[in-house]
Each structure stands twice: as C-alpha cells, then as structure tokens.
Amino acid sequence: MMVNAFSALKAYLDSQVLGQAALTEGILLALLANGHLLVEGPPGLAKTRAVNALAQGVEGRFHRIQFTPDLLPADLTGTDIYRPETGQFEFQSGPLFHHIILADEINRAPAKVQSALLEAMAEKQVTVGRHTYPLPELFLVMATQNPLEQEGTYPLPEAQLDRFLLHLRVDYPSAETELQILKLTRGEALSGAKVEVNPISQSDIFAARKAILALHMAPSVEQYIVQLIMATRNAKAYSDKLASWIGYGASPRATIAVERCARAKAWLDGRDFVTPDDVQAVFHNALRHRLILTYAAEAEGISTDDVLAEILRLVPAA
C-alpha cells in the first residue's frame, strides 16, 4: 500500500531528525496536500537537516537557497543569457526549477525577491522578461526563518504568508533526545534497527494526493471546518473577548488548507474518512500565520496560538 511507503518515509525522517515528530509530520502533510511549508525556530534545531532528509526519501531534484539581503530575483528564477555564437538570448533556469526547495532564512531577502518566490509558490511558474516558464509538477518550498534575530530582516507580508499551507514552530528537544543527538553526531548507532528508505517516486506522490482527495468527509465535518474559519471573521458571535483579540480573520485559503491537511492526516493514519480530531490536529499549524491580532491582544500578551485554542474551545465539534 502507498500508505506504508509514506509511513516508512516518516520513520526515516524521525531517525534523521530526532525529537521533532511534529516537524516531520508537517513536512509529509505539506507534501501530500500539495502545499508549501514555513518553519520557524531558533538555529540548530535541524530544520535544514529535515528537508535534506526528505530529499533523500523522494525522487526529485533538491536545491537549497540561502536568502541574503543582496539576493536578486534572477538568482531564483534564472535569466536570459546572450549567446554571441547564435546572436540570440537563451534562458538559463534558476534554482526554483528544482522539485524540493529549501528557502533558508527567507525573511532576510528584500521584497523583490520575496515577490518572485510568491509567483512561483502561487502559480507554479516564473516570468522572466516577456516569457513565462512552468515549474515542475512536483514543487515544494520549505522556508525557514529565525525568530530570534530581527535586525536586517524583511518581515514577510500577509499576502505571502497566506501562500504557505502550514506554519510550524519547532522548539528545543528534551534532555533525553539531546543525549541521542550527541551519540548520533559521534557516529554511534542508536538503539533499534537502522532505518532505511526507498525513495518514493513522483507518480506515487501524485497517486497518494488523488487518494487523499477521494477520502470520505461527512458534511458535518465540512461544516465544522467552515464554522472554525467563520469564527475568525465573526468572532463577536462567539465571544466579546475573542472579538477584541482578532483584527483580521482568515481567508478562504485557510479553509482549503485545513480541509486538505485533515484529509492528509487521516490518510497517513490509515483511515478512509476524516474526523473532527483530524481537523483539530492541523488547525493551529494551518491558521497560525493567517490571523492578524489587535493591539489589545498584543498588549495582553495573547498569542495567535492562544486565540486558536479559544476558537477550538468555543466552536462545537461535529
């Protein structure tokens, strides 16, 4: 079964990225739901290692782009190069024409570069001069940003944040996991059998995506998803306190993201139907970057996760 192949890939990712099960699951959900991933966390938490491990487990070309303030759009998309021998311009493709892209420290790039990436993520194409070039059918961007450093950064605008399917936050591992990391870096074998993976073909990924879209979702679960999103836009109907926290609610992309990720999670768990638990499991990661809080919420020290937890508490499950 295809599910077994992806379960093996999950086990491989967990063996390469210790103590970050939520990160490895989020990467698989983004891959299966045909979306992009924004990962936020302090340096040294294996964000880069995770996407490198994914590239080992999936058939396709991988490229890492280190975002810096002097980066230009052509450094991502490619550019037309003049060939004197033919007297013509020839397009030389850039790193965006790979299947899996790691956009490292994306908030260090200026707005022009971010907008070039925005077109690629949204339309799966890039435009250079008068010509538009399609990107590969399998195209996954995993962007990282460091929340500790703000100097010399360019915060991502809401329009671009909304293009990401999920926004994951990674934290420091436990003391037990830290000991395992030390052993791993010394080349020592960890307890348990060595985990290996056979790369999953692109055709299997596309087949899995079709199977996920065919999963049964009861109308009551669809209504539950919609009501959760509506609670971000019409919070006053649920609570005055909630209304005082939310400045702007989530867009329809949020509804689509929750639905697709809930389907992908149900499929990974080996079920052919989606439950409210699946919706709740992906809700924070799918909505964390899509809400704009009020100044009152920020003054009270209320985070987006606090608001989302309150929404889950107030909106009855199907």
Residues 156 and 266 in one domain: no
Residues 111 and 179 in one domain: yes
Which residues are registered as beta bridge partners of 100?
62, 140
Query: Looking at the domain assignment, is residue 77 inside a domain?
Result: yes
Last residue of a domain, one of 183, 199, 228: 183
Task: Please give the tally of structural domains in the chain.
Answer: 2
Strand ranges in 118-193 using DSSP code E only, listed in sequence order: 125-128, 131-134, 140-145, 166-169
Q: Which domain holds residue 62?
A: 2-183
pLDDT tens readout for residues 281-295: 999 999 999 999 999
Tell me how far apart the alpha carbons of residues 8 and 228 are, in angstroms, rounded to a whole number: 33
Q: Tokens 């107030």 identify what position?
A: 314
Query: Looking at the domain assignment, is residue 155 inside a domain?
Result: yes
Residues 106 and 155 in one domain: yes
237: domain CATH number is 1.10.8.80
pLDDT tens readout for residues 5-27: 898 899 888 888 888 888 999 99
Residues 140 and 220 in one domain: no
- The pLDDT assigned to 281 comes to 96
Tell me how far apart the alpha carbons of residues 178 and 79 are, in angstroms, rounded to a whole number: 44
Query: Looking at the domain assignment, is residue 206 inside a domain?
Result: no
Strand ranges in the chain using DSSP code E only, listed in sequence order: 37-40, 62-66, 78-83, 88-93, 100-104, 125-128, 131-134, 140-145, 166-169, 246-248, 292-293
Tell me how far apart the alpha carbons of residues 135 and 133 are, in angstroms, rounded to a whole number: 7
DSSP-based three-state secondary structure for 58: strand
Query: Looking at the domain assignment, is residue 228 inside a domain?
Result: yes
Residues 177 and 224 in one domain: no
* Residue 193 reports pLDDT greater than 60: no
Residues 49 and 155 in one domain: yes
pTM for this model (two decimals) = 0.90
- 97 DSSP assignment: G
- 272 DSSP assignment: S
User: Higher-confidence residue: 146 or 79?
Assistant: 79
Residues 258 and 129 in one domain: no
Task: Look up residue 107 and give its amino acid.
Answer: N
